[in-house]
Chains A and B, each alone.
Chain A
Amino acid sequence: MATLIGGIGTSHVPAIGKAIAEGRQQEPYWKPFFDGYLQAQEWLERMRPDVAVVIYNDHGLNFFLDKMPTFAVGAADQYFNADEGWGLPVSKPYPGDADFSWSLIEHLVDEEFDITICQEMLVDHAFVVPNQLLWPGKDRRPIRTIPVAINTVQHPLPKPARCYKLGQAIGRAIAAYDKDVRVVVLGTGGLSHQLEGTRAGFINKPFDQYCMDKLVSDPEALTRFSNAELIEKAGSQGVEVLMWLAMRGALGSSARPVHSHYHIPISNTAAGLMVLETPQSALVAA
């Protein structure tokens, strides 16, 4: 049976990918940020997951406004990255796990999450950068990945409560999978930031700290916000905390915090990192 070892919430700012490509990790601007990932990397080394379910949002690489799925799940054995238009190097493909994907899809639809099924799915920086941060090293592809995309481009966006429930259903789908694999769930994005409008550059440290606290102890508190309220408090793109909420939903009530890190600014963003582990992780730790 599959074992869900834990989850990680992490920012996915494109500038991080650029800094990695240019080898700037030790520069004064970047070092405090990258050093925050060492403990997460060590945790992953100990837990040795086989599969990562990566909950992220597409920023106009795979999906356009012609067809905008609220929730989309990859069902391929390989996922390609591609040019996003503003200079980030294109990453090599990521291995998928179509058997696992289809099992997840069957389970989610059975639970009445009518997701969009994608046998081809370009993955953008929101998928690539967290993989690079958590499994560093040139072109490393340590584990198989399942992309799950949540629409944050075109309103109406799925509600925070719905994203949390999607995560809970993903958690149950993992628990029900009959192969012996170790699974980690990633939720990527955030934390507070805003790219557009006269409020561009908005960051809200107290609200981010509130979110990181609640994600550990009382995630359901965050499900009571509307998306408009999240945008007001965290900025337009701060609504990406939806992906963290879905990740947290997958882990269940007994998950415990392992590590967290928070750093302002990375580009226009307050960058956050959180590692949580499930009680099952004790059974597999090296």
Chain B
Amino acid sequence: MDHHIPGTIIYDSGEARKGYALNKMCYSLNEAQNRADYLRNEEAYWDRFGLTSDQRKAVRSRNVLEMLEAGGNIYYLSKLAGAFGWNVQDIGAQQTGVSLDAFKAKLVQAGA
């Protein structure tokens, strides 16, 4: 898709192909047992799903923008975030480089 929107990813074919392994891993984290296995040994879990080096680096650093850059889809990444104990507001604050309180305040401001 050639429509560029600043700060926004259109999750198209290029993204889906690039991110497949990472997203498949995240999809498995719907199950509690898999989340526990994941947290017990992350590297082994990455091996099992064949994550690329960029994907490993992004996940290791816990950086959501890098995970997106590595082809992660936000709907599947949210399951990895769940394993880490993050909610969507934690993710929003991290991606926009502000504190959680500042992020929440910005949302409230949008309704004013």
A: residues with CB less than 8 A from B are 14-15, 59-61, 64-66, 82-87, 153-156, 194-203, 205, 226, 228-229, 231-232, 235-236, 263-265, 267-268, 270
A267 to B95 CA separation, bound complex (whole angstroms): 16
Q: Are B95 and A200 in contact (CB under 8 A)?
A: yes
Contact (Cβ within 8 A) B95 A59 = no
Beyond A196-B68, A226-B3, whether A265 also contacts B110 by CB under 8 A is yes
Chain A residues contacting B110 (CB-CB under 8 Å) are 201, 203, 205, 264-265, 270
Is B96 located at the chain interface by the 8 A CB criterion? yes
Bitwise interface map of B from 20 to 50 toward A, beta carbon under 8 Å scored 1, else 0: 1001101101111001000000000000000
By the criterion CB–CB under 8 Å, are B96 and A264 in contact? no
Q: Which residue from A66, A86, A268 sits with its C-beta under 8 Å from B107?
A: A268
Partner of A60, one of B3, B27, B31: B27
B87 within 8 A of A: yes
Do residues B74 and A201 form an inter-chain contact, with CB atoms below 8 A? no
Q: Which of B5, B30, B31, B88 contacts A231 (CB 8 A)?
A: B5
Contact assessment for B89 and A268 in the assembled complex, using a CB-CB cutoff below 8 Å: yes
> What 13 additional pairs, Cβ within 8 angstroms, besides A64-B76, A84-B30?
A60-B26, A65-B16, A65-B73, A82-B30, A86-B87, A155-B11, A196-B91, A198-B95, A200-B95, A203-B107, A228-B1, A232-B5, A267-B88
Q: List 16 A-B contacts (CB under 8 A).
A: A60-B26, A60-B73, A65-B20, A65-B73, A86-B82, A153-B73, A155-B10, A155-B12, A156-B12, A195-B78, A195-B91, A197-B8, A198-B95, A228-B1, A236-B9, A268-B88
Interface residues on B, range: 35 or more
C-alpha spacing A229/B23, complex, angstroms: 26
- The reply to whether A154 and B92 contact each other, CB–CB distance below 8 Å, is no
Chain A min CB distance to B13 (Å) = 8
Q: How many A-B residue pairs have CB under 8 A?
A: 139
Contact A236 B74, beta carbon cutoff 8 Å: yes
Taken together as a complex, chains A and B put the C-alpha atoms of A232 and B6 apart, in Å, by 9
B52 CB, nearest partner CB in chain A, Å: 16
Q: What residues of chain A lie closer than 8 Å to B83, measured between beta carbons?
A: 85
**Least CB separation from B7: chain A residue:** A199
When C-beta atoms are compared, the residue in chain B nearest to A86 turns out to be B82
Query: Complex Cα distance A156/B108, Å?
Result: 32
CB–CB B30/A153 < 8 A:
no
Given the known inter-chain contacts A59-B78, A232-B3, please indicate yes or no for A196 contacting B107, CB distance below 8 A: no
CA separation between A205 and B111, bound complex, in Å? Answer: 7
Report the Cα distance A261→B82, complex, angstroms. Answer: 30
Please pick, from A82, A85, A201, the residue contacting B78 in the complex, using a CB distance under 8 A: A85
Contact for A59 among B3, B75, B91, CB less than 8 A:
B75
* Residues in B whose Cβ lies below 8 Å from that of A226: 3
List A contacts of B73 (CB < 8 A): 60, 65, 153-154
Q: Contact at A265–B7, with CB atoms within 8 Å?
A: no
Q: Residue on A with the closest CB to B96?
A: A200
> Given known contacts A153-B73, A153-B75, is B107 in contact with A200 (CB within 8 Å)?
no
Known contacts A59-B75, A194-B8, A231-B10, A265 near B107 by CB under 8 Å: yes
* A-B complex: 3 closest residue pairs judged by Cβ atoms: A264-B111, A86-B82, A199-B7
A153-B76 Cα distance, complex, nearest whole Å: 10
Q: B88–A195 contact, CB under 8 A?
A: yes
0/1 string, B64-108, CB within 8 A of A gives 1: 110010000111111101110001110110011000000100111
